Amino acid sequence: MNERRPVLPVILSGGFGTRLWPASRRRRPKQLLPLVDDRTLLRATAERVRGDEFLPPVVVCNADHALPIRRELEAAGVPGAELVLEPVARNTAPAVAAAACHVLGRGDDPLLLVLPADHVIADVAAFGEAVALAVPHAGRGHLMTFGARPTRPETGYGYIQVGEPLDGGPVRRIERFVEKPDRETAERFLAEGAYLWNSGMFLFGASRYLEELERFEPEIVAAVRRAVDRGTTVEGVALDPEAFAEAPSTSVDYAVMERTRSGAVVPFDAGWSDVGSWEALWELGPRDEHDNVLLGDVVALDTKGSYVRSGGRLVATVGLEDAVVVDTADAILVTTRDRAQDVKRLVDELAARRREEVETDGSEERPWGRFTTLARGPGFRVLRLWLVPGGKTSVKSHEHRSEYWIVIRGTARVRVGEVTRLLPPGESVFVPVGQLHRLENPDSRETLEVVEVDVGSYVGEDDIRRFIDAYGRAERRG
């Protein structure tokens, strides 16, 4: 086998990050949030594999997240990226198989560098060195994973027990995988030094992965191949929903890595974290002299060892210790750091009660930009809109509500009925019920910000009738 095959990053962006609720929601999960610095986790991951040593990435993601993911890849300066759109979540083994089938179908057989979109790696150079160590072994047919050297007795991670050195170098054979341990076991693992954190990152040949997956889980390969073959192709592939749903849901670890005889692990030190909980973000954050991470408009008195995050309004604490307080536009989480993993249970309970806060915080992505809900009540709704440079809404009308647009920043081009005009900051326009209208950002560089006030008997998003870029011809209703 060729040891120097090209490396194609496969970025997995299908998770929802429920342990980071209320910041992470199903429609805008944690990988699309700037939780550690001013970049989203997805953008940071894409930038990590930007360079001549990597091919343009394939991103496997939920079909509903395609629009914001494309924007993040553009912001990351990653040309040529392709998306594999999952109609349903089937875990990582089918997701990676879909990427492998897609690239093999176009005649390529690169090494796949599988990376979750929501991880943090502080030392990118050290990570690159670990990948370079893994490449020749993957080129010879090994299925490689990366094990972070543990720095504490962590109970929230799985572990890898290392075996003998592979070819006399730092790469080790895998002795066994271990599920998340209790505290006592984690302390023993740390003391023994023969265990690494299982990072969930992999490197292997596309055809080699499918070969091993077909040995152990042939149903996955058969279903995924049908899903790719029947899928539609536009800058990647949208998997066939019926076929992909037939794939058993399981992880790469369970399906292949724990069963193959060709597995090996690269130990690395790169400041890795899976950002799996608010406790993890406390570990990563800039802590003050009282061991607090305070983000946003926060005033903390007699507060120690806590993570307090404001979503915009003032958050004040007194006498807290080892606490987590997260404020967003529509929800507030209060817990303790040692119960941070239980936020998933809370989200499950909210979902059982059909709370919309599980799905969204009132923000939505659109081809023209995005909006967020500032306030709503019987008969009214207040939105804040951001239109990207050159962005414009469809020509539309509403049957049950009127609208006011107030320009906050930038200059808007508005069309109401047969009249089109430019609105500078501070000016507004009224759109009567049933009137055709469009909002547009004519600037090619700056984002347009607008506040919209909806008033009427019904202000839901489905009260809309769109038209094909000219008045009088209906495009669709709903």
In Å, how far from its chain's centre is CA 173? 31
Q: What's the confidence (pLDDT) of residue 73?
A: 94
Token digits for 91?
A: 């875990």
Range name among 134-143, 184-193, 374-383, 468-477 with the lowest pLDDT average: 468-477
Say how far apart CA 196 and CA 400 lie, in whole Å: 59
Say how far apart CA 137 and CA 395 lie, in whole Å: 56
- Whether the predicted pLDDT of 317 surpasses 90: yes
CB 210 within 8 A of CB 104: yes
- Whether the predicted pLDDT of 476 surpasses 50: no
Report, as an integer, the average pLDDT of 203-217. 98
Beta strands in 166-254 (DSSP E): 172-178, 195-205, 236-238
353 Cβ contact partners less than 8 Å away, ≥ 6 residues apart: none
Say how far apart CA 248 and CA 235 lie, in whole Å: 26
The larger pLDDT score, comparing residue 115 to residue 106, is at 115
Alpha-carbon dihedral sign for residues 248, 253, 254, 257: positive
Q: What are 439-449's pLDDT values in tens digits?
A: 999 999 999 99
pTM for the predicted model, two decimal places: 0.88
Q: What's the confidence (pLDDT) of residue 471?
A: 45
- Whether the predicted pLDDT of 421 surpasses 90: yes
223 Cβ contact partners less than 8 Å away, ≥ 6 residues apart: 94, 243, 244, 246, 247, 248
Indicate the angle between helix axes 66-75 and 41-48, nearest 10 degrees: 50
Q: What are 19-77's pLDDT values in tens digits?
A: 999 999 999 999 999 999 999 999 999 999 998 899 999 999 998 899 999 999 998 99
Q: Provide the residue count of the chain.
A: 478
Secondary structure (DSSP) of 340-370: GGGHHHHHHHHHHTT-GGGT-SSEEEETTEE
Secondary structure (DSSP) of 239-289: --HHHHHTS----HIIIIITT-SSEEEEEE-S-EE---SHHHHHHHS---T
Identity of residue 366: R
Closest-CA residue to 266 (of 184, 144, 434, 363): 144
Say how far apart CA 32 and CA 35 lie, in whole Å: 9
DSSP state of 217: -
- Whether the predicted pLDDT of 473 surpasses 60: no
In Å, how far from its chain's centre is CA 153? 27
- Set out the domains of the chain in order of their start, with CATH numbers: 7-273 (3.90.550.10), 284-352 (no CATH), 363-477 (2.60.120.10)
Cis peptide before 136 (omega within 30 of 0): no
| Cβ-based neighbour number of residue 210 at 10 Å | 21
CB 230 within 8 A of CB 30: no
Q: What are 149-200's pLDDT values in tens digits?
A: 999 998 889 999 999 998 888 999 999 999 999 999 999 999 999 999 999 9
